[in-house]
Amino acid sequence: MGACSKCGRPLLTGETALCPACKAAKHETGGKWLKALATIATVVGGVVITVVTRGKVRPKGR
């Protein structure tokens, strides 16, 4: 049995390096990064599509 490498809380059986709270926090941080990446990808994708389709294909209904 060790302690959480982040907050130092004693670990329960089955827990390895991080306690559930820190695991959740870590997961949340990863989710934020994924969300940021998704947002960037959406913005960049939109710009690329706008640039690529301009003068070539006009979206129907716009």
CB 5 within 8 A of CB 18: yes
Binding status of residue 23 toward Zn ion by CB under 5 A: no
Q: Which residues contact 12 (CB under 8 A, 6 or more apart)?
A: 19
Binding status of residue 6 toward Zn ion by CB under 5 A: yes
CB 9 within 8 A of CB 15: no
Binding status of residue 7 toward Zn ion by CB under 5 A: yes
To the nearest whole angstrom, how small is the minimum distance from the Cβ of residue 26 to Zn ion?
9
To the nearest whole angstrom, how small is the minimum distance from the Cβ of residue 44 to Zn ion?
36
